A and B are shown apart, each in its own frame.
Chain A
C-alpha cells in the first residue's frame, strides 16, 4: 500500500512541480478521513493539487467558488419542480462529490460556510427537511487567502477546528518555476490521467489505517501530554479540542501507514504537529502577534518522547 502512495506522488509531481510535501500532507489528511485547509496566495496550484488527487484516486470531483452571494443550496443542491412528473426533483450540489474543492472559503457568508461545514463534519446534509448521506470517501479541500481585502468572512476557530490540517503550499522553487515556464502548465492533462487506485481500494486503505495501524499507549500518553500542555500554556487561551486530539491521532496513523509502518512513532505526531495544531488553538490577546507555529513548537520541545 505504501508504494501506492509513492506512485500517486510520483504521478502527480509531474504536474505539481516541487509540491510533493503539500501533496503528501493532502494525501495524509485525505486518508485519515479528514479535510484540508490550504491557506495561500492565489495562483500557487491549490486547484491543481485538488484535481490531481481526485483524478489519481479515481474519484469524482466538485468545485465551489465561494463568493459573498453564494447560497447554501448552491453547495448542497436544490429541488426543482418537474412539470412532467409534477413533483420536485432533487438536484445534487457539488458537495455530493468525493473530493470537493472549496475555493476562497472565507469569501462565503457565514450561513453558507456553516452549511458546508455541517457537510464536512457530519458527512451528511439536510435540504428542505430531508437528510442526505454524502458519498464516501468525502474530502474537502478548502482554500483561503491569508491577506484579506474586502468582503470576507474569516472562519471562526470553531469552524477551523473541523479541518484536520491547515497547510500552505508556498511559492514553487526557482527550479520548479523554470520547468513550468519551459513546459507550460499541464492542467488539462491532469483530467486525463489514469487513476492509480479505485474507489474501493481507497476505502480499504482508509479502513486499514484506522484499524491496522497500532497506536501504543505510550504514544497516546505522548499525544495527551501535548494536548494538556497546550491547554495549560500561558500564551494560549484555548488548547486543543477533543476533535483536535482525534485529528492528531488519525493523521499520525495515516503518516505511519505511508511510512510503511503498522505502528505509530512519536515522529508521526511531531512532524505533523505544525499542520494539525496551530489552527485549533486560540492565543491570548497579548500574544496574538506571536507565530502560533512557534508556540506549538516550543510546547512540543518541552515534552520528552517516549523512549
Chain B
C-alpha cells in the first residue's frame, strides 16, 4: 500500500481496547462516589491487572474459575440487597462483574458484555443521584460506546485488521453524530416526562442523605453537622440584612436534662398568631436530609408545598422525610417577635428532674428584681459577653451538661448556649423553647440566591413575654456561625460557591424544569426582543432561555439532517456508484441511464463490473421491488470491487 502523507494505520484491536478501557474507567468514576472503598480498591486493582494482561497478551486466570467465583459472588452479594438500600449493592455488583470482564481474554461477546455493564452502571448511578456529573458521564459514554461498538464490528470481522487514521476519524465523527442525534430525543423526553427529581426511584435509593439535622439535640454529642460544608438549602430571594437570616426549622420544647426533644405538635389554629414586618417571598430548594421539616426564613407565614402542616409553634413539616431534593416556596415575615395569645405554659416551663441549684443561684443573682423581657435580655448579655467561649470542641459528657457548661467549662457550641438560656428562662418562670434551623448563608449574586450549608446549622431560643409574644433570643456569641460572605475572600470558597451556582442552575433549570416556567420565560424573551433595554431578564432566565434555544436549534439541525439523509437504500447505492465512477474518471450525466452510462466506460474490466451493477440494480429498482438482503449484499460487494 502506498504511503500517503499524513495517513497511517492503526490496529483496530488497539483502538478498541483503548476505548473499552476508557469506558470502563468512566463507568467506575460514575459510581465511585457511592460505593464502598473496598469495592473501589478491588476495581482499581483488577483494572491495573487487566492492563498488565493486555500488555503481556497473557490472560493467566482461566475463564471457568472466574465464572465460578463470579456466580458465588453474585449469590452472596444478592443477600445484601434490601428494599431500603437496593441501588448501592447492585451497583457494586455490576462493578465487580465489569472488573472481572476486563481481566478476561476478550472475545466479541465479552466486549459487548463490558459495554452493557457500562450502560447498567450509568443507569445505576442515576438511581443514586441525578446531578451534573451524571450528565457529563452520560455524554462521554454516549459518545464512547458507539465508537467502541463500531470498532468492535471491524475487529470481529477480521482479527488483526488495521484501519487508517482517516477511517478512525470518520468513525469517531459518526459516533459523535449518533450522540448528537440522540439529543433531540433526550430533549423530547425532557419536555414530556415530568421531573422525577432526586433520586429517580425513591424506594430503591438510600437517598444520599447527609447526616445532620435532627429533631432532637443531645448536648455533648456533636454530630459533625457543623463541620459539614455540604449545601442544605438554596433560597432564591432578595438580599436582606444578614442579621435576620434565621432559617426556622423545628421547635424543641422538651428537655430531659441532656437532650431536647420535640413534643407532639398541634396544628396551628386560626387567629392566635400575629406577625408584622416586611414580607419576603422565597423559593427554596431543600436537599434531602433525615427529617421532615421544611425550612424558611423566620417567621414563615405560609409554605407552598403539598401535604405540609404548620403547627402551633410554627414548625413546618412534610408528611414524610425529605428523601429527595424538593422545591417549594414560602412567604415569611421578617421579625423577631411573634404574637400568640394563648400558650401552653406547662409545656414551655417544663424542666427535667435535675439538680439545677447552681444555675438557680446564677439566675437569682442575675435577676435582681428584673422581670420578663429585661430579665431575658440580661441572660442574653450574660451568655454573650460573660466570658463564655464558642467552641466546637467536644465537652465531657456529663449527666447535667447545662450546669457544667454554665459554671464549670464555659465553652461550647450553640446548643449549649441555647439550652442554658432556655433553662435559665424556664427557671425564672418565663416560657421558653429552642428553635433548630440554620443561620446565615452566602448570597450568590450570580444566581440571586442564598446558599446555606450544613455548617450554618444553628439553634436559638424563643422566650414568651406577656403582651409581646414570642421573641427570638440568640445567646450564641457573634461570629460563631459563618455569616454572609463578602468578607470571605478565600479563593477556594469562591470556587466552591461558583460550582454551587452551576449546580443550582442545573437543579433550577433542568431538574426543577416546568413548562409553565419556560412559557413565562419565552414571553419574557419576547418582551426583551421588543424593547431590549426596558425588560432585562434575570441572568437565570437568560441562561435557561439560551439553553432552551440551543436545544431547539440542535433539534432542528438534527431533524433536518435526519430528513435530508434519509435517502432510500437505492438512492444511496446509486450515489455511491456514481461517486466511485467519478473517482475513476467517468462522470455520469444526470440524464443518462445507468446501463447507458456503464456502457460508455472504456476500461473493459471496470465496464463489465459497472454493467453488472447497473443490470442488477435496475432489475430491482425498475421493478419497484425492495432489495432483499442477498441482493443488497451482492450489490454492495460489486460496489466494493470497483
Contacts and interface: CB of A to CB of B under 8 A. Distances in A.
Contacts of B621: 216, 218, 306-307
B588 to A, nearest CB: 10
Interface stretch (B49-57, B182-190, B307-315, B592-600): B592-600
Contacts of B619: 261, 263
Given A307-B574, A307-B617, A218 B622 contact: yes
**Residue among A214, A218, A300, A307 with the highest chain B CB neighbour number at 10 A:** A307
Nearest to B596: A267
Contacts of A303: 591
Nearest to A302: B591
B591 A265 contact: no
A195 interface: no
Contact of B622 (A265, A270, A304): A265
A134 interface: no
B612 to A, nearest CB: 14
Contacts of A266: 593, 596
A267 B595 contact: yes
Q: Which 4 A-B pairs have the closest CB atoms?
A: A267-B593, A304-B590, A266-B593, A263-B622
Interface in A244-289: 261-267, 270-271
A270 B590 contact: no
B624 A217 contact: yes
Chain B interface helix/strand/loop/mixed: helix
B624 to A, nearest CB: 5
B591 A307 contact: no
Nearest to A303: B591
Contact of B623 (A216, A270, A300, A304): A216
B509 to A, nearest CB: 49
Contacts, number: 56
A301 interface: yes
8 contacts: A218-B624, A219-B622, A263-B622, A265-B618, A301-B591, A303-B591, A306-B621, A307-B574
B492 interface: no
Interface in B586-639: 589-596, 617-619, 621-624
A41 interface: no
Contacts of B622: 214, 216, 218-219, 263-265, 306-307
A44 interface: no
A197 interface: no
A265 B593 contact: yes
A305 interface: yes
Contacts of A214: 622-624
B570 interface: yes
A216 B623 CA distance: 6
Contacts of B595: 265, 267
A175 to B, nearest CB: 24
Interface in A291-307: 300-307
A264 B622 CA distance: 7
A301 B590 CA distance: 8
Interface of B: 570-571, 574, 589-596, 617-619, 621-624
B486 to A, nearest CB: 71
Interface string A180-213: 0000000000000000000000000000000000
Interface of A: 214, 216-219, 261-267, 270-271, 300-307
Nearest to A269: B593
Contacts of A306: 621-622
B352 to A, nearest CB: 95
Contacts of B574: 307
A302 B591 CA distance: 7
B591 A216 contact: no
A219 B593 CA distance: 11
Given A214-B624, A304-B590, A305-B594, 14 more contacts: A214-B622, A218-B622, A261-B619, A262-B623, A263-B619, A263-B623, A264-B622, A266-B593, A267-B595, A301-B591, A304-B591, A305-B593, A307-B594, A307-B621
A262 B589 CA distance: 25
Contacts of A304: 590-591
Contacts of B571: 307
**Residue among A217, A265, A271 with the highest chain B CB neighbour number at 10 A:** A265
B598 to A, nearest CB: 10
A307 B570 contact: yes
A13 B300 CA distance: 109
A216 B574 CA distance: 17
A300 B589 CA distance: 12
B591 A263 contact: no
Contacts of B617: 307
A3 B11 CA distance: 54
A1 B31 CA distance: 73
Nearest to B624: A216
A266 B591 CA distance: 9
**Residue among A264, A266, A301 with the highest chain B CB neighbour number at 10 A:** A266
B618 A270 contact: no
**Residue among A216, A262, A300, A305 with the highest chain B CB neighbour number at 10 A:** A305
Contacts of A300: 591
A193 B625 CA distance: 43
Contacts of B624: 214, 216-218
A306 to B, nearest CB: 8
Contacts of A216: 621-624
A218 B621 CA distance: 9
A305 B623 contact: no
Nearest to A267: B593
A217 to B, nearest CB: 7
B404 to A, nearest CB: 96
Given A214-B622, A218-B622, A305 B592 contact: yes
Given A216-B623, A217-B624, A305 B618 contact: no
Contacts of A270: 591, 593, 596
A199 B624 CA distance: 33
A119 to B, nearest CB: 36
A261 to B, nearest CB: 8
B590 A305 contact: yes
Nearest to B589: A301
B616 to A, nearest CB: 12
A134 to B, nearest CB: 35
Nearest to A266: B593
Contacts of A262: 623
B524 to A, nearest CB: 50
B570 A305 contact: no
A72 B592 CA distance: 46
A64 B590 CA distance: 45
A267 B614 CA distance: 12
Contacts of B623: 214, 216, 262-263
A97 to B, nearest CB: 37
Contacts of A263: 618-619, 622-623
Contacts of B618: 261, 263, 265, 307
